[in-house]
Structure 1
């Protein structure tokens, strides 16, 4: 068993992408490989084969490796609920809620779970490609670290350091990160990867030579900027989308403070007939054909945010002029008349009014519901695949007109006039049949079929081809076999 860790100089340096690409490269060579993220903080998550919950980007890396996602692949997942508090998921299950200061005292417990998961995963696979979180040089977070060098030291594994040249200052990123590590950690870094380079590589070569001379460590490759590259993000909402050839359906999504699983919209960002816009705090709400209220980790507080920023009035006006509204998971709960959280599972205990667009009430209850599902649109043959990750049980007359037939039960609701629909299913646009049928219901005439699952596969293959062409793959594989 061998583990290689990919760390980055910053958040969004490209760690997740490099791990996914390496997993696919090794899979293509017949290696039994699995991804591993010791600790992640993200609101994009996925349901695993063992009924647990892990970060969405790690599930994508599992797909790249050709294996089913498992809770051991991301044993510590922190899902922010406020600026200072988060829900703690240990090995796929809710452990509890903790504030930022309290978590530092909790790290030893998290460390035990993390190492046990890594050891169990290592027993089932030949190679583990681990991913760090943020930067290993966050000196205020070094004590008890399990996300970066704390794991690498415990696992005694080599590390590659990724720097993002597109945001500028890549040499300062790489050299500065090394300077803030101790001697043992610096020795553990076996080389650099420069990510997102645009232009003529000959212009960069003198800098790379200086970097190798200055640090004594090799540059194992420079990855080009991949235009149009769209894969499941770890957490950040993408600011841009692919250029459209026929923008016929305008979709607007409020960027909630605790928006969760915004990867639900990746298929729409890819769709040639959909123009998708995220609207954040302080930004004007543009005209739209469809408003989608997304998932939320803190339904009541994000509902209050909608009210403060004029969304209820905008939605009412939108509906008066014939627009459509879709709510997903927490957004579905917000469409109802009441949201009750008497035990304070997602924030202060209490009962708050919803948007009043569907006759239903949601009651938060202990025990998160985690499941992968398949079914069809109610009354149609269009197949849907998706997953549920939510607290709360919804009840009311609206459920008599469900959106999906899942075989053993129904899901979601459709208003009597068909303008308002809601569902607990994430990933509802990923299957081409469901995507086309849902877009038709939302007002798109003759929607083109878009298969986001097939798109993921194409992008993973493209990513692996890029790594094969621009990295010293043989030298990286030598790290896996020799550790040096």
Structure 2
């Protein structure tokens, strides 16, 4: 196989960004390239044109490679439901839910690795070059006998490995040496090292680079600087960064869900200079936001009951009664209804019913079947065209006709209250619609006597980020050596 594998000394060292950069670099060279990650764990998923789920990071990497995302790029997606149990998405469809012990004992080295190999073979038939991303660290000695995402995949694909280390954290040299010692017989696969997230004077690092090459015998391919203004969807970290966005004067509060899903819904606000995003996880932090977003959740009933325990349900109702602007997405929409029913224990195993906030005249009941699809809709109030995707369990029964949008299939979606003061919708990605987001923000700006702003084109911004990331990679990596590795 022609390609390369990017592994890391730890989680969150920047593997996803490096893969994204490589995909765009090779695509700019006119090569047919695509990303691959055998197993991903995240509640942020991407819905393909075939209504299948895959990791959102691989979706973004596919966009960087200028290819259509498909589930062969990420055959296994684990979506945590509880601390010890995850829903397994296999080749885009729900397979089953297992705890960690049963997953490793009953799935990984049987059904799991078989499906990964099939996906990789299928993937290879479509693309000339494959950029494979590992997970966590390849030096997890307690897991390596049953892992299906690091060295086992490198060996199967017969590709070289580049090791990425986060120098911003400190301890990077020890991390490299320790990782190389603990990959044992696979050490020969690692042909290069990339130091990522470097700040400061590179001259202060040079002696260390020479030392690590001499000590390990592995070439340092380059040093990537710390990048603050690259906004590309990864797994979960990008949205965590967004939650610390405090420069704007337009205060938007995001209600914290312990089991939040698709927090990428709020990522477009990165591009809005006047918007401040903050998390509201208790009544003391509620204050007086200009608007509230209630995001999706993997367990609607449990998360709503936790909000009630904290008193946030009453705060939200009071806020709405005082004219506050609110939008609920997916599980957040269900919470804004009258009741949520789960007699079949689909959403959780503890509660089968709860009254909800009662803002919308809707009732939601959970069923086994999962609704996953890309959708196009028209907002009923404005005629705005909307693109998004649905990922949800349950069916919502409308008791009144205050709908938010109509899908191109003729189905109705969502609810509104008091002339769109409160909006509920199943459409993930709603704020990626630039005109809708701009109209929604301008309504808030006008209400607070602030000037309206023009539309920010997020597609253009994302493309700029892809190109900047590729440029930084090419400028700081030994490209001749690197390109020889992938041939």
TM category, shorter: over 0.9
Partner of residue 470 from structure 1, selected from 471, 476, 483: 476
Given that residues 244 and 273 in structure 1 are in contact (C-alpha distance below 8 angstroms), is that contact kept between their aligned partners in structure 2?
Answer: no
Who is 1:94 aligned against? 94
Q: 1:425 to 1:142 in 2, by over 3 A?
A: same
Distance 1:329 1:440 in 2: 23
| Equivalent position of 1:147 in the other structure | 149
Q: Structure 2 vs 1, CA of residues 245 and 99 (structure 1 numbering), >3 Å: closer, same or farther?
A: closer
* Superposition RMSD in Å: 1.8
Q: Distance in 1 between matches of 2:233 and 2:334?
A: 24
Write out aligned runs for 1:204-243 (5 A). Answer: 204-236=205-237, 237-240=239-242
Secondary structure at the aligned position of 1:389 is classed as: strand
Residue 369 of structure 1 aligns to a residue whose secondary structure is strand
Question: Aligned-pair distance for 1:309?
Answer: 2.0
Match for residue 422 of structure 2 among 416, 420, 423: 420
Q: Is the 8 A contact 1:267 1:450 kept in 2?
A: no
Distance between the aligned counterparts of 1:306 and 1:285, measured in 2?
12
Instruction: Please show how residues 377-456 of structure 1 align to structure 2 within 5 Å.
Output: 377-398=379-400, 400-408=401-409, 409-416=411-418, 418-442=420-444, 444=446, 446-456=452-462
Matching residue of 1:178: 180
Q: Is the 8 A contact 2:375 2:408 kept in 1?
A: no
Residues 330-360 of structure 1: per-residue CA shift (max 9 Å, x gap): 1111111111122222211611221222111
Q: 1:157 aligns with which of 142, 156, 159?
A: 159
User: 1:135, 1:341 → 2: CA distance?
Assistant: 39
Cα offsets for 1:46-71 (capped at 9, x unmatched): 10133210111110000000011101
Report the Cα offset of residue 241 of structure 1: 6.4
1:120 is aligned, of 119, 122, 147, to 122
How big is the shift at 1:295? 0.8
SS in 2 for 1:173: helix
Bigger CA drift: 385-394 or 18-27? 385-394
4+ residue segments displaced more than 6 Å: 241-245
**CA shift at 1:149, angstroms?**
1.1
Residue 55 of structure 1 corresponds to 55
Q: Do the aligned partners of residues 147 and 221 (structure 1) sit closer, same or farther apart at CA in structure 2, a change above 3 Å counting? A: same
**Is the contact between residue 196 and residue 226 of structure 1 (CA under 8 Å) also seen in structure 2?**
yes
Change (3 A) 1:16 1:339: same
Residue 298 of structure 2 is matched in structure 1 by 297
CA contact (8 A) 1:198 1:224 kept: yes
Contact 1:430 1:451 in 2 (8 A): no
Q: Deviations over 1:407-458 (max 9, x none)?
A: 2222111014533210011111112212112334556562431222221111
SS in 2 for 1:140: coil
User: Which residue is 1:201 aligned to?
Assistant: 202
Q: How big is each residue's C-alpha offset from its partner over 1:225-278, in whole Å with a ceiling of 9 and x where there is no partner?
A: 11222211302342456877752x311002211111111111113212321112
Q: Quote the Cα distance in structure 2 between the aligned partners of 1:379 and 1:279.
A: 29
- What SS does the aligned partner of 2:430 have? coil
| Secondary structure, aligned partner of 1:365 | strand
Structure 2 counterpart of 1:324: 325
Unaligned regions of 5+ residues in structure 1, if any?
A: none
Q: Structure 2 length as normaliser, TM-score? A: 0.94
Match of 1:365 in 2: 367
Q: Aligned with 2:432: secondary structure?
A: coil
Q: In terms of mean alpha carbon deviation, does 431-440 or 166-175 score higher?
A: 431-440
Note the C-alpha offset of 1:320. Answer: 3.0
Deviates more, 1:196-205 or 1:378-387: 378-387
Q: CA deviation at 1:171?
A: 0.8
Residue number in structure 2 paired with 1:307? 308
Distance between the aligned counterparts of 2:306 and 2:86, measured in 1?
Answer: 19
In 2, Cα distance between equivalents of 1:281 and 1:8? 36
Matches within 5 A, 1:59-138: 59-105=59-105, 106-107=107-108, 108-138=110-140
* Consecutive unaligned residues in structure 2, runs of 5 or more: none
Secondary structure at 2:431 match in 1: coil
Cα deviations by residue, 1:338-397 (Å, 9 ceiling, x for unpaired): 111222222116112212221111111222111112233213232322111111111122
Which residue of 2 is the match for residue 338 of structure 1? 339
